[in-house]
Amino acid sequence: MDFKVIDNFLPVDKFNEIKNIVFHEEFPWYVSNSVAYENDNNKDYYFNHFMWNRASGSCSPFFEKVCSEILYNIEDIKSIMRIKVNHYPGNEVFREHVMHKDAPFDHKGAIFSFNTCNGYTKFKDGTKVDSVENRMIFFNPNELHCSTNTTDEKYRVNLIVNYL
């Protein structure tokens, strides 16, 4: 699996500014009843907030404030496919979600962690990259990977960018 990890991806002041928006009690979250595939027949669920989709462009009033600094620091974006923020509730039982691909073709992806917890992203070769605050992972989302919840924090929050 080919991936790259960058710690302290954003300057601390910019990171804190964005985190305060996403973690604010009035930031809207929408439930998704499956984590990897629709009707994947498990009990996993999470909350998300779509920032951008290919069909309509910006679909969140928070897009500019949350995404501009992150996108500015991703050097090779030609076209954005999707940006969303994921919120995995903490639980007493640790759950590794279903392996999946984000799209059926090679493209680029980035996972940005908003908080440190015992959750991680796992790749098909078994490599696990821990959720660490202000960490960015770059990878090919057409390769199998999965997410997890967390048991040591209230939630695990990350931002996903799929792009060409």
User: Mean pLDDT lowest for which of 40-49, 60-69, 155-164?
Assistant: 40-49
What SS3 class is residue 21? helix
Q: Parse the chain into domains and list their residue ranges.
A: 3-163
Antiparallel, parallel or unpaired: β 46-53 and 57-58? antiparallel
Quick check: 153 and 111 in contact, CB under 8 A? no
Model confidence pLDDT, tens digit, residues 79-133 = 999 999 999 999 999 999 989 999 999 999 999 999 999 999 999 999 999 999 9
Quick check: 114 and 66 in contact, CB under 8 A? no
Residue of 60, 69, 56, 57 lying closest to 27 (CA atoms): 60
Task: Specify the pTM.
Answer: 0.93
Where helices occur in the chain by DSSP H, the ranges are 12-22, 63-72
What pLDDT is attached to residue 40? 52
* CA 46 – CA 29 distance, rounded (Å): 9
* CA 97 – CA 122 distance, rounded (Å): 9
Class of domain 3-163: mainly beta
